[in-house]
Chains A and B, each alone.
Chain A
Amino acid sequence: MSHETIVDNGLLRFLTCGSVDDGKSTLIGRLLYDSKAILADALDALAVSSRKRGLEEVDLSLLTDGLSAEREQGITIDVAYRYFSTGTRKYILADAPGHEQYTRNMVTGASTADLAIVLIDARKGVLPQTRRHLTLAQVMGVRHVVVAINKMDLVGYDEATYQRIRAAVEPLAAKLGVTDLQFIPLSALKGDMVVDRGGQLGWYAGPTLMAYLEGLELGQEDLDAPFRFPVQLVCRPRTEALLDYRGYQGRIESGSVARGDVVTILPSGIRTTVRRVEFFGRDLLRGVVGQSVTLHLSDEVDVSRGDLIAGSVEAPARTRDLNATLCWFSERPLDPMSRLILRHGTREVRANVTAVLGRMDLQTLESVPAEELTMNDIATVSLRLQQPIAADPHSWVRSGGCFILIDEATNATVAAGLVLAQETY
């Protein structure tokens, strides 16, 4: 699957954190507009001439009108997805509102994001919301953070302003543990440092926002991580020609797998080896993270939906007790009497929240004592499960350490969870 002329650098999912006041709509409009010209160039298409990158006069509101309409309809509390492509890379932009009462929406957008852009208005500098956005990105395990210092045109493209904001953000990011942090001064309105460098920010030697997005290397951490494969379905056609066919269908959520690898089925703990990694009738030398494949095992073992096939080296431990960070979504506070279902991978088990250990104060970013969980709370809790799951700490294997909680009475998804530590069952 490749277009010979263009290198395909895959798919980048990112999140924009900020409010209208920070110029978020303008930045999104700028990215959508300018990328179209890059794409046209890349495909050597005919209609290029009508577009020029970095124009100041472009009415970006034409592209972002949808956003404002949503706002008026009062549905802005939700994440909206935008798409653009440069020909070499496709982008999925999750546009989530930035206010504190919409924390759950930002968490939703962050759950699938590789990168978060935290917007700062150069005139205003670091605000409480900047701290909150950085914190939530870090809690959700977003690997790359871009601090976009916008509206540089309104501060005379002043380097000292940029340096001052940078100096304020760096210690905060260090305290949170953000490892990959990139600062970019820009003017979304004028187009400086978004796609083109512009003529005003000569003192800045780093990449433009688009150059940074285009050059970011993706997926290496997930590829190097241990192998995890939640079984979605068992394929047994039982036709005459395929009497012995037994394939386990699922997606590789972490690491990679090849024929001959020793794997452990969880929670049973049975070990076997991989006989085939199949994709649509074809045998793969190696299946990698993100791929939906069919695995064949050497032994006829009992495997069904809800089981996890993991690399035997560094296989996760089975546990019925979890400590986790929860983001509570429901408008109804956590009720100790409600029956909750925890979904981890393809496995569902009953769960009780046995203790609320603390709640994060989103202004001070400190953990404070808490008795209950209400909407938008980020809290540390203890959970007791009716059946064991094989979970990883989220900080170690991202996909192996996340789960959702579903209220059995309403079927609503009431919380997102990140596994902190585990006790062996």
Chain B
Amino acid sequence: MTQTLTHLEALESEAIHILREVAGQCQNPALLFSGGKDSLVLLRLAEKAFRPGRFPFPLVHIDTGHNYAEVIAFRDQRAEELGERLIVRSLEDSIAAGRIVLRSPGESRNRHQSVTLLDTVEEFKFDCLIGGARRDEEKARAKERIFSFRDEFGQWDPKNQRPELWNLYNARIHPGEHIRAFPISNWTELDVWQYIEDEGLELPSIYFAHEREVVVLSGGALLPVTSLTPVPAGAVSVRMSVRFRTVGDISCTAPVPSTAKTLAAIVKETATTEITERGATRLDDQTSEASMEQRKKEGYF
């Protein structure tokens, strides 16, 4: 044991402290778990924070119905292994209930998650949602607090955030309001991959390089060819070796060209990439400069 912590030990300790503060300050929190890499890191951190006790919160997934099957299977398997409660609420139900109206059947469902998410908060009276968002992902996130306040409409007000000093977090709220807590705010994509490597965490297979049919879009992004995202008229698909850096709704998550089949290889690629995680892989953030900020104000993750 050295006297000072390595950077990953420091980040890990900070995240454990944050998770324990959520448990200490909030009456009815929940942890958002999608089966993606960031939320898998959160689960390991929760184990380190609370074992040998049980998690003081259930796991919650907002299922768009447009997720890769490997990821959903992985989600269920992991929750089962941990012996923790998993709550799944689905956009299909929100659509059936008329809470969400799609403009077209093929429209990206990413943005609509906010409705189902806030309805879930209401249903279970959650006073805090723990998420795996990181400040290095996007510039609206770079400004967000670790304990981020949401009003009774689930909205974030970036101009009126609570000051956050030292590690003295303030999760006090009035009924109907809630807190979003982000334990890995200070982690970068590289930190996440290094941690996954160090901890030997298992991941859904699509995070590793594999052959896939894709269409190279004009901006350079890769469109994965699926039943939801067929080859656009006039375009030609190719097979290439790709991996996903982020895993979400099929209609808006793109793979990147890669031959990295191991965690060590992914760490190296991540260290040298010129393109940010969202820049390379999100087909929706690029629609407008402030699209993430706009979605967050509406209650998005």
Residue positions of A touching B, CB distance < 8 A: 1-3, 8-11, 36, 39-40, 43-48, 50, 66, 69-70, 73-75, 77-83, 85, 87, 89-90, 92, 104, 107-108, 111-112, 218-220, 223, 232-233, 235-237, 239, 242, 245, 249-251, 253, 279-281, 284-286, 288, 290-292, 305, 329, 341, 343-346, 399, 402-404, 406, 411-413, 416
Contact = CB atoms under 8 A, between A and B. Distances in A.
Contacts of B290: 73
Given A81-B142, A412-B162, A404 B168 contact: yes
A107 B165 CA distance: 8
Interface string B17-34: 100110110000000000
B143 interface: yes
B17 A235 contact: no
8 contacts: A9-B7, A73-B290, A75-B143, A81-B186, A85-B7, A87-B271, A285-B1, A404-B170
B287 interface: no
A413 B135 contact: no
Enumerate the 8 nearest inter-chain pairs by beta-carbon distance, A residue then B residue, closest first: A292-B16, A90-B7, A47-B272, A8-B6, A411-B172, A232-B20, A111-B165, A66-B139
Interface in B1-48: 1, 3-14, 16-17, 20-21, 23-24, 47-48
Given A10-B6, A69-B289, A416-B163, A291 B170 contact: no
B24 A81 contact: no
A292 B271 contact: no
B52 A291 contact: no
A343 B170 contact: yes
Contacts of A399: 166
A232 B268 contact: no
Interface stretch (B61-69, B70-78, B187-195): B187-195
Nearest to A39: B271
Nearest to B195: A1
A49 to B, nearest CB: 10
Given A111-B166, A232-B21, A43 B271 contact: yes
A255 B29 CA distance: 31
B168 A402 contact: yes
Contact of A90 (B47, B52, B54, B191): B191
B53 interface: yes
Interface residues of B, number: 62
A235 B6 contact: no
A237 B168 CA distance: 27
B229 to A, nearest CB: 29
A46 B272 contact: yes
Contacts of A90: 7, 11, 188, 191
B103 interface: no
B268 A45 contact: yes
B13 A292 contact: yes
Contact of B49 (A11, A220, A292, A329): A292
Nearest to B47: A280
Interface of B: 1, 3-14, 16-17, 20-21, 23-24, 47-54, 135-136, 139, 142-143, 158-159, 161-168, 170, 172-174, 185-186, 188, 190-191, 194, 198, 267-269, 271-274, 289-290
Contacts of A107: 163, 165
A321 B223 CA distance: 64
A75 B135 CA distance: 16
Nearest to A403: B168
Contact of B166 (A66, A112, A346): A112
Contacts of B4: 9-10, 218-219, 223, 288, 290
Interface of A is mostly: mixed
B148 to A, nearest CB: 12
A318 B42 CA distance: 37
Contact of A108 (B48, B163, B172, B274): B163
A87 B271 CA distance: 9
Contacts of B172: 341, 406, 411
B218 to A, nearest CB: 21
Contacts of B51: 280-281
A41 to B, nearest CB: 10
A1 B9 contact: yes
Contacts of B269: 45
A290 B5 contact: yes
A10 to B, nearest CB: 5
B155 to A, nearest CB: 15
B170 A83 contact: no
A132 to B, nearest CB: 18
A422 to B, nearest CB: 18
Contact of B10 (A11, A220, A284, A413): A11
Contacts of A39: 271-272
Given A90-B191, A232-B17, A81 B135 contact: yes
A406 B4 CA distance: 33
Given A1-B198, A11-B7, A112-B166, A292 B143 contact: no
Contacts of A46: 268, 272
Nearest to B271: A43
B3 A45 contact: no
B158 A416 contact: no
B122 to A, nearest CB: 20
Contacts of A74: 159
Contacts of A8: 6-8
Given A291-B13, A292-B14, A292-B48, 12 more contacts: A10-B6, A10-B9, A11-B7, A36-B272, A45-B269, A111-B165, A237-B52, A249-B20, A250-B17, A253-B167, A341-B172, A404-B166
Q: Looking at B49, B135, B168, B274, which has the most chain A CB atoms within 10 Å of its CB?
A: B168
Contacts of B174: 411
Contacts of B10: 10-11, 290
A92 B168 contact: no
A414 B7 CA distance: 32
Contacts of A3: 194
A288 B17 contact: no
A259 to B, nearest CB: 13
Nearest to A218: B4
Given A292-B49, A403-B168, A411-B170, A75 B159 contact: yes
A69 B6 contact: no
A236 to B, nearest CB: 8
Given A75-B143, A251-B17, A284-B1, A108 B164 contact: yes
Contacts of A220: 3
B4 to A, nearest CB: 5
Contacts of A85: 7, 188, 190, 271
B52 A245 contact: yes
